[in-house]
Structure 1
Amino acid sequence: MTLNTYMPDALRPFYQSELTQYRAQFAQGHWAHAWTHLERAHVIGQAYPVTHSQVHWLMLVFGVKIKSLREVIGQIPRLLVGGVKSFVGHIPVGNTGGANVPPLRPLPIAADIQDMFAQAGIHRNHNT
C-alpha cells in the first residue's frame, strides 16, 4: 500500500494545463471540450488526494452549471471517497471520473497522458 499525499512537481504543470484549458473552454461555452479537459485532469491527478478531490469538486460544479442532475448526484459520492482512495493508493487507474463511468472501473490511459507520466518519471498501471 502506497500513501500518496502531494502531486510531484514534475507532474503538476500537466495537471494545471488541463485545468487552464478546462476553464478557457468552459468560459467560451464549449461544454464538451471543457469536460474532456476535466476528465484528463482527473486521470492525471487521481492518485493524489487534493487534486483528485479538486477535480471531483469541479465536476460537481460543472454538473450544477449545465443543470445535469445525473452528474451532480454522481459526483457527490466520488467527492466524498475519491480523496481517501487516493490517500491509501487504491484508485481505478485511468478512470475519467464522470458519472457516465462506473467509479471503480480502470480505463486505458491516453497515449499523450502516458507520455506526461513518463516525462514526470511516474509509472501508472491498472494495479495501482
Structure 2
Amino acid sequence: MRRQSMPSFNQTIRPYVSAELTEAWCALRRGERASSFLHLERAYVLGQSSTLHHVRVHLSMLAWALRTRVPREVAAASCSASSVRRRDRRSIWCPPATPPAPT
C-alpha cells in the first residue's frame, strides 16, 4: 500500500500568496495604492515561513515601490529584498524602519 505524503508548506501556501499578489497588482491598476499595498502586506505575512515566497513578496514590494515612485519604499524594499537573499543584515546599510526614540 502506498502512503500519501502531505503537501509541503510551500505547496499549501502558494495559492494564497499568489492570490494576494494578484489582488495587489489589480488594485494598483485601478489606482488604489493603499489597497494594493495592503494585499502585499498580507502576502508578506502569509509567505514569511517560506523563503521562496518571502523573497517573491519582497521582490513584488520592490516592483510596487518602483512603479509607484515612492522613494522611501524603494529604499526599504531594496534593502529588505537583498537582506533576505543574503541572510546577513550586517553586510548592507538599511534605513531604520521607525525613527529612533528621543533620548
Greater relative CO (CA pairs within 8 A, separation 6+): 1
Q: Give the CA RMSD over aligned residues.
A: 2.2
Cα pair 2:10 2:50 within 8 Å, conserved: no
Q: Does 1:20 align with 2:22?
A: yes
Q: 2:92 maps to what in 1? A: none
Structure with the largest fraction of helix: 2
List aligned pairs for 1:87-98, cutoff 5 A: none
List aligned pairs for 1:1-128, cutoff 5 A: 7-85=9-87, 101=97
Structure 1 segments (4+ residues) deviating >6 Å: none
Q: How many percent of aligned residue pairs carry the same amino acid? A: 27
Aligned equivalents of 1:82, 1:19: Cα separation in 2: 18
Provide TM-score, normalisation by structure 1: 0.57
Shift of 1:9: 1.8
For residues 43 and 83 of structure 1, do their structure 2 counterparts lie closer, same or farther at Cα, with a shift above 3 Å needed?
A: farther
Q: How many residues align?
A: 84
Provide TM-score, normalisation by structure 2: 0.70
In the alignment, structure 1 segments of 5+ residues that lack a partner are 1-5, 86-98, 103-128
